[in-house]
């Protein structure tokens, strides 16, 4: 969410930013919110004047009563009562106007980084760098569900009967591999100086609206019926929410946390075969990383975060690339975003396995996360997040890139301690 003062002083820049995000339907909101801001400041000015005048009237009434001038005191008392009524009207008006301003401000997109490529949707995202050599073996790579099934490692049918489409049972070696990847990712991030955390898996509505746009909320979140609670779509939500309504001492920054959680998402819409199976699902587990830092440090942390994911995947022999999201593919709160994509030998293309975002002070402004500087000044923090690893989706890339012609799967050296020393998985059928 932008600062209303910034919008008031830079309306043309805000409108140009909206155009770059191809949301021209929101252009009129800029003028509307500026007009509402003018009204609320006028109401506030009149209310402040009335409050000052009421104090003077109270003193005059007291003096007149002390002098026995009851009639004159009564006249001033009536005048004060009229001013009290007007002040009550202004306070109500001010409250309503501020609520309307906040509602609009939460739909005006954040200012994107000047380096973000301009484009309408993800088809215009830009490849940045490739890491590792993508290989297509001389044998056919089966569909990921078939690979898992060869190890008796997945049961979609039973999950469908129990919970419906978009759920799964992982079994045996595949379930163990799933847990091993998460444990390795946890230790990988701890070794990079991040503090490990297991957060709440449900959050209140004010945290939801603090960390994402209304459109994202509708598309992603599951609400608990009858309660002000939502299942998290990623632990970023509750991890950033951890700092709601706090003043963080500047000396404690940056706050660097890595968190484990299950995640729950609606995942609306129809998808092709390769995005079914365990690729696009309603429930999965993830290791996440978040940073709360000083504004001037957020670009540096952005680069560190996506590099962590690249390094993790490369340590497991998986080729990856980074993609910069264009303006039209950025969620409204984001300043800049990179996707990390893993190589799929089966599809002969890359697919998304993680997303890194710098949100500037948008989340901090909504959640009132402020920093107290050494000089006593207060300012909003910057927040960033990135996926460390999100199985079972990443297992698709892992299995495809480590598959042998005989159906066995190599276990990279870094994962073997988490797999009981196992060097290779051998199919059951």
Does the domain at 4-105 match CATH 3.10.580.10? Answer given as no
Edge-to-edge order in the sheet of strand 246-249? 246-249, 369-372, 378-380
pLDDT of residue 31: 97
Beta-carbon contacts of residue 41 (< 8 Å; ≥ 6 apart)? none
Question: Residue 138 pLDDT > 60, yes or no?
Answer: yes
pLDDT (tens digit per residue) in 304-314: 999 999 999 99
**DSSP E strands: which ranges in 110-172?**
126-131, 154-155, 169-170
pLDDT of residue 59: 67
The two tokens of residue 399 are 């299995």
CB 235 within 8 A of CB 261: yes
CB 381 within 8 A of CB 164: no
**DSSP string of 92-117, one letter each residue:** HHHHHHHHHHHHHHTTSPPPPPTTSP
pLDDT (tens digit per residue) in 349-391: 999 999 999 999 999 999 999 999 999 999 999 999 999 999 9
pTM of the entire predicted model = 0.90
Q: Which band of pLDDT confidence, cut at 50, 70 and 90, is reported for residue 418?
A: very high
Q: Which of 15-19, 76-80, 384-388, 395-399 has the lowest mean pLDDT?
A: 76-80
pLDDT of residue 282: 93
Segment 155-167 shows an average pLDDT of 94
For the chain, percent of residues with pLDDT exceeding 70: 95
Question: Residue 272 pLDDT > 60, yes or no?
Answer: no
Segment 33-51 shows an average pLDDT of 92
**Location of each CATH 1.10.287.40 domain in the chain:** 4-105
Beta-carbon contacts of residue 25 (< 8 Å; ≥ 6 apart)? none
Question: Residue 270 pLDDT > 70, yes or no?
Answer: no
pLDDT (tens digit per residue) in 252-265: 999 999 999 999 99
**Residue 412, by phi and psi: left (phi above 0), alpha (psi -120 to 50) or beta?**
beta
Buried b (16+ CB within 10 A) or exposed e, 145-165: bebbbbbebbbbeebeeeeee
- Average pLDDT of every residue of the chain: 93
Does the domain at 122-425 match CATH 3.30.70.1450? Answer given as no
pLDDT (tens digit per residue) in 77-134: 777 777 788 888 899 999 999 999 999 999 999 999 999 999 999 999 999 999 999 9
**Location of each CATH 3.30.930.10 domain in the chain:** 122-425
């Amino acid at each position: 969410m932008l600062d209303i003062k910034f919008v008031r002083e830079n309306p043309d820049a805000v409108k140009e930013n909206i155009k770059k995000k191809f949301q021209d339907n929101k252009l009129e909101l800029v003028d509307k919110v500026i007009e509402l801001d003018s009204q609320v400041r006028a109401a506030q000015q009149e209310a402040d004047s009335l409050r000052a005048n009421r104090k003077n009237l109270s003193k005059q009434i007291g003096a007149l009563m002390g002098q026995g001038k009851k009639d004159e005191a009564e006249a001033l008392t009536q005048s004060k009562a009229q001013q009290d009524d007007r002040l009550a009207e202004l306070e109500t008006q001010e409250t309503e106007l501020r609520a309307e301003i906040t509602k609009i401000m939460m739909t005006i997109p954040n200012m994107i980084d000047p380096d973000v490529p301009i484009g309408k949707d993800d088809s215009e995202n830009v490849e940045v760098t490739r890491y590792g050599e993508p290989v297509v073996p001389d044998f056919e790579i089966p569909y990921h569900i078939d690979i898992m099934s060869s190890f008796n490692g997945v049961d979609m049918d039973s999950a469908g009967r129990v919970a419906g489409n978009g759920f799964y049972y992982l079994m045996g070696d595949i379930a163990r591999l799933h847990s091993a990847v998460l444990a390795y990712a946890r230790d990988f991030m701890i070794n990079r100086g991040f503090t490990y955390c297991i957060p709440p898996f449900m959050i209140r509505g004010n945290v939801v609206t603090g960390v994402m746009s209304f459109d994202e909320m509708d598309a992603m979140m599951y609400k608990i019926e009858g309660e002000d609670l939502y299942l998290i779509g990623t632990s970023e939500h509750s991890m950033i929410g951890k700092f709601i309504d706090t003043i963080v001492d500047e000396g404690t920054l940056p706050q660097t946390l890595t968190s484990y959680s299950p995640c729950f998402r609606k995942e609306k819409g129809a998808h092709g075969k390769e995005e079914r199976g365990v690729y696009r699902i309603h429930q999965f587990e993830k290791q996440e990383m978040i940073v709360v830092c000083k504004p001037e440090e957020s670009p540096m942390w952005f680069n560190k975060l996506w590099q962590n994911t690249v390094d993790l995947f490369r340590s497991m022999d998986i080729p990856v690339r980074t993609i910069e999201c264009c303006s039209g593919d950025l969620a409204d709160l984001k300043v800049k975003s990179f996707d990390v994509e893993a190589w799929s030998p089966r599809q002969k293309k890359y697919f998304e396995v993680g997303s890194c975002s710098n949100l500037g002070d948008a989340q901090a402004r909504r959640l009132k996360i402020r920093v107290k500087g050494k000089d006593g000044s207060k300012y909003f923090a910057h927040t960033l997040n990135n996926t460390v690893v999100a199985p079972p989706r990443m297992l698709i890339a892992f299995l495809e890139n480590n598959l042998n012609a005989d159906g066995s799967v190599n276990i990279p050296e870094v994962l073997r301690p988490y797999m009981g020393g196992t060097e290779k998985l051998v199919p059951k059928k």
